[in-house]
Structure 1
């Protein structure tokens, strides 16, 4: 006990046979955090958040820094894998359209969700085709908030509910540059570059996203956004 196993060939002609056993080292407990992060990646909205009341509403919050997903291609099935009741339509190889729906409604271009970015409507209409205007790159997101149930009392007519994409907060340092390049099959190439920082009471977060793929009819897309806070 407490020694490692040893296999050694010896000769019967040896007068002295010395066998030295190596003592085992007992390790402390091993905690695997990956599974814990997976379960904590989806949480609920607070009952009261600033001027909004979410008590009694079905809500989910996806923390993008905890999920295991292909963020470079906006892989919708991976991003929303833990959200129950969503219908996902995969029609874009490069993740140019998220195409999610709820309550059995048509997921084409997320047309039945009120879709927002930082609590502002992406499209001109409350309900419509927001992804015809813009689909927020997953790499630029900190959270995805999904509110269903009685959300219509707060946000107007929404049959599917509300999806709100929360952009990452600016870095605390004066300047931070993050760039990621992804290569994949079918000529996939993506570049995501963000520039952010905080100087006194002024903070900023800006990003540029470029995608290219040879196998899709949507071969090229580039998006850019800048968000300022004072």
Structure 2
């Protein structure tokens, strides 16, 4: 994300993360990731073979996770804790963002046009909430790219139509990128590779938008997206307000 000029200084490049490291340190994030993997394993086992023993393990591990997050087994970090920090960032006139990256598990179903995000920190962040916050912020007026790292964020019903679902979040973005199926987990090397490539593509978008002598064209950006090392993943994206699927993967 680009940070705007401050006290007549040249712009500085800065990544702003919410929740911040003040809220969740690197060590705490690592611990939560490890505990979440264990919790997901318990839940999977309990789904296929329910037992009182697994249910007790889930209950007790939930206490541990809440303790790590909030320092109290009876208190959890929730959406209500997240939103004020996000609003503070979006209301900070010192910021002038050129990209927004949204990471989290995307809860949706083929055929529906709504979706919510959740993960290790909290659940329940909806598309409508993000529309209300991001589309009206003074800090996101110049966003060139919206990068969505959750599952099924770029299926037809969620990104194809102007102003609908994810296509309606920061709709003036030159690039809106997502997945047309299940996204790779964040510990997967493929996930990290795709993120690196998308950031390289974002640089091309910025050059196209801001440097008339760059030689970058829309086709340059399109062809670069087609070269993403995606494994066998289906990708979806909007480029210059036109929707694409790669490869073709029509779902309703």
Decide: shared fold, TM above 0.5.
Answer: no
Higher Rg: 1
For this structure pair, what is the TM-score category when the shorter chain's length is used for normalisation?
A: under 0.3
Report the TM-score, using the length of structure 1 for normalisation.
0.27
Between Structure 1 and Structure 2, the one with more helix by share is 2
More strand by share: 1
* Higher relative contact order (Cα pairs below 8 Å, separated by 6+ residues): 2
Q: TM-score, normalized by length of structure 2? A: 0.25
